[in-house]
Chain A
């Protein structure tokens, strides 16, 4: 009864090296081996000898806009400039840039590859937890060492570790350092975990899901279940990450107690801007070459790509895992600015919001995802912050703190129904993309939409 799914020996079992299997077939069996080291842009450059920037005009404009924004924020920031912006607003902007990185990852995995993952914010949160462990441990260690310094006898390493443990875990009534904190004392190790933990989790989950050919809405529900399981697990006290207390005090960088938050906020803003620029370049590079073509082909007709000989499962697994790692890195940049992380941040709803941002901004366009994430999350902050003016209707006053979510939900329905290209679609009207005669854009190429019009 499950024959159609098990007829082929699942290619994903060879998935551990998806890139190499991709390099085996760049452009199908008859194609010439790509010049150079096999990197995507060169392979496509052989067909269309144009530079990366010329092929992706949006990259230039995007980087320019980001640079201008960074310059403006720096000038207005309290640390270096005129102080026209509050520190918290600089932090909000920095956090928004991190969310944009997550949105880029979501766009690659959903808009380009067609995998609607409802779990990428969980990887984002995991990255935050990993960096938070080091921040919290190192910071607490400083405090404990300072407290023990008044003793006549200098403390032993064990005593310091014990003191740190009591400080961190007293709140959940435990006095032993859980196993998951084994590397918390070391920044390099914990930074490695920022990459490894989301990567390995996404790898295992993706391998299980893709090899059994779970696709479409089933995959979405499964990722949502994974996210729910993860957040429920973290809510327990014995998960070793302080249960629903989460990790706090992350805005204080160890060793930089003297530095004011004004300075820290602008440093993190720069780091976030740089991260976003690099992530944008990486995503644009990955999606513009042959690799990107295969991804779009998988989105539009998975079976056809498989018949053409591409290891579809390997591609999907690679994209799923790589975007999860990107989300983890974005989370590691985000939470030192947010200052606190708890399991609620990993709840399924957060990942769904990520999908909402990308959908409103416009799937299949990297700048669309960034615009959507920035616009919706900033609007959300503005409306729920109580600063939006109330709308008196005579019989009822609309308080946006209460009604913003309704507005967002309805706006989302409208975007899905009437503007599936999202905000990014507006840019297509201003400057129609040059698709070399192919009539369909990345979104229009979706077979499902074509069918919908039949």
Chain B
């Protein structure tokens, strides 16, 4: 069987050298082997590989590793091994042949191109190598650079495979190579159909080249025609004519530049073809002048519109598949159609996951606002700067504590404490005095925002600061070729879920939450019940700011930390709260879900342009507020306040 295959392979390669022992072949081709070049050495390597001699693999390997040498005295080839005396020699039949000093041996040093050919030839031997690592490497190299020569050795290596995983890999690769290189169409169609609902990226790579189309033009179409194109309907007449020109079937059209050049070359006494130069600032006059030159024979005739139409009508424009066999292309198209459907489904799933993770980020950025703006109705334009503050806290902790995991564990509570303190300070000093003037709160907090941004710039500089996530958060959870999600995004989704729980717990199950709700509903009544509204307002604002700080650490993990980090999120955060419905944490969740999902969906429809996605999303939000001015989840009754 093996001999048969190798013989077939030899035939396939149309090899000029007959199969013999390695030693004989080397001896016969010694001149070529001494000074190999990429162009000429191919047949020699193939014949060595096809010789059937068990030494072939060893010899080729030695050659490729620059361990093949020639004894200067008798021009005999040996495999070399470093030895105390110089080299230990092994002759090409595998027998030890003593030693030789370094000076007696000319080492063969094939160049990179030749070594590449040797490596390709060696693949078929390594496919059956006892070492599974080498077998896997050989499979990979074939998969990366499929060629017809690999098909037969691969088929031969399947039966002897003992490792089940490698065997499955070999079988799959064999079918892929069959699709592309098997000489019989039936085998190829069977191989295509054998994949069923598989949608691997390697299968698509094998099928797509078969159905790639090229546009052609001829009087009678030939080849495996994908479709014929009617000029004027499927393609424009200009395009069709350009194809004719490209195929040398028609003369090139006269371009405006060429016409101008021709006219300029025939100026006589300030006139061209009897028309004065000043009049030539008009295309019609130029055409007239050119026609005059044509009739006088000074310039070659250009194709007129009628000639173009006639030429286009004479020929047919069509597209052909790269694969000549129509049955194979039909099977491939069918398989690709199925693949497109399942890939479409998976892309949707991937998009949904992207949307969820983006929504989680918006939710994290907005959750602090949901407290300060949603519950307390205080507009805090400096909220973004609290997020930035959290991110910079993470950065500073990381520079002090080198261990990534530990620094992250420290950064979260520290960011909370710092931003909590900043929030409390801001509430005490500024916001307290403006509770009845919401518009001015907006302005005052904006003043704080620009001041803080500049302070960050002065301290940390304008360049982005890295906030590295620990190694166990690197990488991605891969489901298949299409669907994957990075662990850092998963962590952010988890964090968003935790925040939701914490928020709900504080608001619904703690004394603080009860008092916060009481104070926001009716501060006077709450005060008469013994609640100190000042204290509650301060704590609530601190809580919202503190959460912004923690959000900042987690956002910093995946975005670059600059002084404008928070400012980039502030409008989206407010939108999230407004769209979702003020005063309700589930509203913020719904708003984040809608904005995140929508943005990803628009990005998918217009992938080159994330800026456009944001533009359209904001426009959508403005329109959405027309329909539901109170947001997705609107408070009812007394809780709605005004």
Contact = CB atoms under 8 A, between A and B. Distances in A.
B451 A406 contact: yes
A334 B455 CA distance: 31
Interface in A400-454: 402-413, 416-417, 420, 448-449, 451-452, 454
Contacts of B628: 2
A158 B435 CA distance: 63
B291 to A, nearest CB: 16
Contact of A417 (B430, B446, B625): B430
Contacts of A202: none
Interface string A370-411: 000000000000000000000000000000001111111111
Given A225-B622, A409-B454, A356 B277 contact: no
Contacts of B439: 116, 216-217, 220, 448
Contacts of B280: 153-154
Contacts of B437: 448-449, 452
A401 B256 CA distance: 55
B571 interface: yes
Interface stretch (B222-230, B551-559, B609-617): B609-617
A156 B448 contact: no
Interface in A107-122: 116
B414 interface: no
Contacts of B124: none
A211 B623 CA distance: 12
Nearest to B280: A153
Main secondary structure of the interface of A (DSSP, over half): helix
Main secondary structure of the interface of B (DSSP, over half): helix
A214 B629 contact: yes
B438 to A, nearest CB: 5
29 contacts: A1-B636, A152-B277, A153-B286, A154-B281, A158-B256, A159-B256, A209-B622, A212-B629, A214-B625, A217-B379, A217-B439, A221-B574, A226-B622, A229-B615, A232-B612, A236-B609, A349-B450, A356-B443, A356-B447, A402-B457, A405-B453, A406-B455, A406-B458, A409-B449, A412-B446, A416-B447, A417-B430, A448-B439, A454-B436
Interface residues on A, range: 35 or more
B571 A228 contact: yes
Contacts of A356: 443, 446-447
Which among A157, A224, A451 has the highest number of chain B CB atoms within 10 Å? A224
Contacts of A326: none
Going nearest first, the 7 A-B pairs with the smallest beta carbon separation are A409-B451, A412-B447, A452-B436, A229-B618, A405-B454, A154-B281, A416-B444
A152 B266 CA distance: 11
A238 B611 CA distance: 11
A363 B89 CA distance: 99
B497 interface: no
B450 A156 contact: no
A410 B433 CA distance: 16
Given A116-B442, A352-B446, A416-B434, A405 B571 contact: no
A227 B442 CA distance: 17
B616 to A, nearest CB: 8
A155 interface: yes
Interface in A272-320: none
A156 B279 CA distance: 10
Interface of A: 1-2, 5, 116, 151-159, 205, 208-209, 211-214, 216-218, 220-222, 224-226, 228-230, 232-233, 235-236, 238, 348-349, 352, 355-356, 359, 402-413, 416-417, 420, 448-449, 451-452, 454
B543 interface: no
Nearest to A243: B611
Contacts of A412: 443-444, 446-447, 450
Nearest to B381: A352
Contacts of A452: 434-437
A412 B458 CA distance: 20
Contacts of A359: 443
Contact of A226 (B379, B457, B618): B618
Contact of B611 (A116, A154, A232, A402): A232
B636 A451 contact: no
B72 interface: no
Contact of B277 (A154, A208, A209): A154
Contacts of B281: 154-157
B373 to A, nearest CB: 8
B171 interface: no
B10 interface: no
Contacts of A226: 618, 622
A368 to B, nearest CB: 15
Contact of A153 (B264, B451, B625): B264
Nearest to A413: B447
Contacts of B621: 225
Given A153-B264, A213-B629, A417-B433, A410 B447 contact: yes
A222 B451 contact: no
